[in-house]
Structure 1
Amino acid sequence: MINVMAANTFQTQNTTIKPFEESTALVTGGLYQVSRNPMYLGMVLILAGVAILLGSLTPFGVIPVVIILLNRNFIWFEEQSLAQTFGPRWVEYRQRVRRWV
């Protein structure tokens, strides 16, 4: 549900949802008022749900690895691009809203 709501916010702003394409709008509404990365947060919560359904602690070990990979391989590059594209607007948003929650 989180991912669908976040994706819809991108659609209403007419900007790309693809991580490595240049954004045409700085999305700050909806779930993006609470988290700068609600879609990634949604993915991590899905992984946690799967781990709970499996009834084992072992799958929870994957979650920190996924978070590290998302931070290093996606979020870092996205944030650099947003800083270049939106400058002071991005800086203000970044200071106001946390990366995850």
Structure 2
Amino acid sequence: MNAYRSKSLSFPWPPLLYSIAVIIALCLQRYYPLPLPFLWSIVAWAAGAALTAFAVTLNVWAVKTLLESRTTVLTQRCSAYLVTTGPFRFTRNPTYLGYTLLTAGLGLLIGNLWFVAIAALAAALTTLLVIRCEEMHLLSRFGCEFEFYCKHTRRWV
């Protein structure tokens, strides 16, 4: 039996990756601060508030869509259905996109530009460590249907 067929991951990596990213950004700001001029800090705060609100909305919408489709929200469980509705129409990974935007948005809200850089790094690591395994799982479970979905829906945005 295909090892990817039963589940995609054995450990829920995304929350850990983004938590570590936040800790690293806080440490970098403490030892290597990137100050923002006052006017830019107001603009950054407004952009951060908008990004944070959008990220939370995206994550709630994605989880709601998964629950309504009666498939798992957890990455270490087997997917029952290929979900292509809701935010999954626009991106194959709306929760990870939400995590990334939330990390960057929080950084802009508190004036820590390291969050933005670390969010990009966390997204790259998520692609390498998580998304590729999840895609193998979905490919082994749903075959051509998943391939068709991949051709019409981008991985991130």
TM range (shorter): over 0.9
* 3-state SS of paired residue (2:84): coil
Matched letter for residue 66 of structure 1: A
Name the counterpart of 1:82: 138
The RMSD of aligned alpha carbons is 0.9
User: How many pairs align?
Assistant: 101
Q: C-alpha offsets along residues 15-52 of structure 1, whole Å, 9 cap, x if unaligned?
A: 10111211010000011000000000001110111111
Q: Percent identity between the aligned chains?
A: 35
Larger Rg: 2
Distance 2:121 2:63 in 1: 24
Q: Indicate the larger mover: 41-50 or 56-65.
A: 56-65
Q: Indicate the larger mover: 90-99 or 46-55.
A: 46-55
Q: 1:57 offset after TM fit, Å?
A: 2.2
Give yes or no for contact 2:87–2:94 (8 Å, CA) kept in 1.
yes
1:9 pairs with one of 65, 88, 109? 65
Distance 2:141 2:152 in 1: 18
Q: Indicate yes or no: 2:122 matched with 1:66.
A: yes
1:40 pairs with one of 68, 90, 96? 96
1:57 pairs with one of 98, 109, 113? 113
Q: C-alpha offsets along residues 40-82 of structure 1, whole Å, 9 cap, x if unaligned?
A: 0001110111111122322222112101121011111100000
Structure with more relative contact order (C-alpha pairs < 8 Å, separation 6 or more): 2
Matched letter for residue 4 of structure 1: V
Give yes or no for contact 1:20–1:78 (8 Å, CA) kept in 2.
no
Query: Please, which runs of 5 or more residues in structure 1 have no aligned partner?
Result: none
TM-score normalized by the length of structure 1: 0.95
Q: Indicate yes or no: 2:148 matched with 1:92.
A: yes
Matched letter for residue 58 of structure 1: W
Query: Please, which runs of 5 or more residues in structure 2 have no aligned partner?
Result: 1-56
TM-score normalized by the length of structure 2: 0.62
